[in-house]
Amino acid sequence: MEFTVHRTDAQTPARLGTIATPHGSFDTPVFMPVGTQGTVKTMSPEELREIGFGIILGNTYHLSLRPGADIVARAGGLHRFMHWDGAILTDSGGYQVFSLATLREISPRGVSFRSHIDGAAHFLSPERAVAIQEALGADIMMVLDECTPYPCAQDYACQSMERSLEWASRCKVARRSPHAALFGIVQGGTYAALRTRSAAGLARIGFDGYAIGGLSVGEPGPLMLELVAHCCRELPGDRPRYLMGCGTPVEIVEAVARGVDMFDCVMPTRNGRNGTAFTARGKLAVKNGAFKEDFRPIEEGCGCAACRHYTRAYLRHLFNAGEVLGLRLVTCHNLYFYHQLMRRIREAIAAGTFERFRREFIERYQRGGESCT
């Protein structure tokens, strides 16, 4: 993997770059749709390509449980298995172990847990996490880490951070693929000093990129952004920075302003399946009765397939009738909106107008001329 910074904003740490992988290049800042189980829910790979995405996510935890990393490997890797020719980033599975698994037990060796699917016993070590991701054929792999909850006592956050550093070191030693990049993950809860130690420790080990983990887990928004800014200042400037699991359009714009290059979140797809669309003026609940006879698109001027061909009234009808097409169309719109947001961010950085774009976008979005509430 190669990362090139083309321009840094004059007023903020926001930056414009490109990441090259064995399965193509993409520009940063970038949003990566979440394809947890080898699919971005309700969307085909062809539709994702049509929108313009060059990278999506897969998940080690879910894919290792079903269909199994060995089956994916025999199919030729995740790219061939799911018919996706772009880049793939795989999460290590650590977050899912700590959020979904039952009866888990953490030790210096790794984590023992029981599957949320059938209760079967499993063990995930740093070495195993890397081996699974290499079997999947990921372009970018993540180290195994522990994601602490919010709130979290400082003593435990420190212990967990140190354990995650040790696991990160073991992940790098276990790496065998010359083609897959490996990212470290900064932990430390909401304690800036622990985040500093984590970032410094990861930099000493040396990774192809660095993620900021353990945020967007319930902490106040201003605190999250403060910690994001702190981590970005502590991480190497010649490597991409990835904020995991974040978030809303406003959070993304604000995190870019603090130096983040990569984002993922289930929000556009999950909200789409629930009938909520993202627009430049806030969120729109297309299921609401107010749209029964509204023959406008979700958002005027939007180029997505849903807005080009369908009305709010029709989408409301689909959701009320329980038709799957409604879920697909609003998901398509939301992913298109996120992709276009990133494009506009990149254009503003390139033009030297990012700070103005940031202010205007957030003011308009939060003003919420159209809201789901």
* CATH number, residue 34: 3.20.20.105
**Looking at the domain assignment, is residue 373 inside a domain?**
no
Kindly report the number of other CB atoms within 10 A of residue 368's CB atom: 14
Percent of the chain with pLDDT over 70: 98
What's the whole-number average pLDDT of the chain? Answer: 95
Pairing, β 87-91 against β 55-59: parallel
Which residues make Cβ contacts (< 8 Å) with residue 195, sequence separation at least 6?
186, 187, 188, 227, 230, 231, 234
**Looking at the domain assignment, is residue 309 inside a domain?**
yes
pLDDT recorded at residue 311: 98
pLDDT recorded at residue 113: 87
Boundary residue ending a domain (248, 265, 282)? 265
pLDDT recorded at residue 230: 98
pLDDT recorded at residue 96: 84
Domain count of the chain? 2
Q: Calculate mean pLDDT across residues 344-349.
A: 98
Whether 201 and 287 map to the same domain: the answer is no
Whether 318 and 254 map to the same domain: the answer is no
Whether 226 and 282 map to the same domain: the answer is no
Nearest to 263, CA basis, from 273, 275, 250, 274: 250
Q: Which helix (H) or strand (E) holds 196?
A: helix 192-205
**Looking at the domain assignment, is residue 129 inside a domain?**
yes
Q: Calculate mean pLDDT across residues 165-178.
A: 97
Res. 312: pLDDT tops 80: yes
Res. 371: pLDDT tops 90: no
Q: Calculate mean pLDDT across residues 174-194.
A: 97
Boundary residue ending a domain (220, 241, 265)? 265
Distance CA 29, CA 255 (A): 10
Q: Calculate mean pLDDT across residues 158-179.
A: 97
Whether 77 and 181 map to the same domain: the answer is yes
Whether 318 and 226 map to the same domain: the answer is no
pLDDT recorded at residue 164: 97
pLDDT recorded at residue 286: 97
pLDDT recorded at residue 370: 46
Q: What is the dihedral of CA 259, 147, 82, 21, to 10 degrees?
A: 40
- Residue 146 in tokens: 């522990």
pLDDT recorded at residue 97: 79
Pairing, β 15-21 against β 2-8: antiparallel
**Looking at the domain assignment, is residue 283 inside a domain?**
yes
Q: Calculate mean pLDDT across residues 20-41.
A: 97
Q: How confident is the model at residue 372 (pLDDT cuts 50, 70, 90)?
A: very low
Query: What residue numbers bound the domain in which 30 lies?
Result: 2-265
Whether 158 and 292 map to the same domain: the answer is no
Res. 101: pLDDT tops 80: no
User: How far does CA 28 lie from the centroid of its chain?
Assistant: 13
Write out the catalytic residue numbers: 91, 264
Nearest to 32, CA basis, from 52, 50, 47: 52
Res. 373: pLDDT tops 50: no
Q: How confident is the model at residue 116 (pLDDT cuts 50, 70, 90)?
A: confident
- Residue 165 in tokens: 């550093």
